[in-house]
Amino acid sequence: MKPELIAPCGMNCNVCRGVLDKSGKAKTCVGCKPRGKGCTYYGGLCSKLKNSEIEFCYECDDFPCDKLKRLDKRYRTRYNYDFIEALEFIRDNGMEAHLARDMEKFKCPDCGGTICIHNGKCYSCQTIDS
């Protein structure tokens, strides 16, 4: 997993369908951060992210703000992934430990590939009909 694919909000773009899917069938993406807009969701709404004043939301005085809480809740509910917890883990334990933990969490039991957070499938060994 690549550290530059951890978005400011705590999203792990390494496991995003847009990044994993190379079939051309789905909308593809290089990851929030490599896109260079600070934040795909709140770049226009959050001046600190837009102006690169902070790299991750946990560096902000308002962390966790209402916008982040809404996004966090959506992902906790739909995909069982906790952005705020991830950001706190990165802040307290470092990026390397976070990536190691997510690597285990999203590891395919059959081939060791990466499971997609959005559809729960392994892009290395499963057939994806997107």
Instruction: Tell me how far, at minimum, the Cβ of 110 lies from Zn ion, in Å.
Output: 5
Cβ distance to Zn ion smaller for residue 37 or 118: 118
Cβ distance to Zn ion smaller for residue 54 or 108: 108
Contact residues toward Zn ion (CB under 5 A) are: 108, 110-111, 113, 122, 124-125
Give the SS3 label for residue 6: strand
Instruction: Tell me how far, at minimum, the Cβ of 120 lies from Zn ion, in Å.
Output: 12
Cβ distance to Zn ion smaller for residue 100 or 125: 125
Cβ distance to Zn ion smaller for residue 43 or 113: 113
H-run or E-run covering 99: helix 95-105
Name residue, tokens 């390494």.
Answer: 14
How crowded is the C-beta side of 90, counted as CA atoms within 13 Å? 22
Instruction: Tell me how far, at minimum, the Cβ of 14 lies from Zn ion, in Å.
Output: 15
Instruction: Tell me how far, at minimum, the Cβ of 126 lies from Zn ion, in Å.
Output: 6
Name residue, tokens 């892009």.
Answer: 123
DSSP string, 28-95: P-S-TTTTTSS-TTTTTT-HHHHTTS-SSGGGSTTPSPHHHHHHHHHHHHHH---HHHHHHHHHHH-H
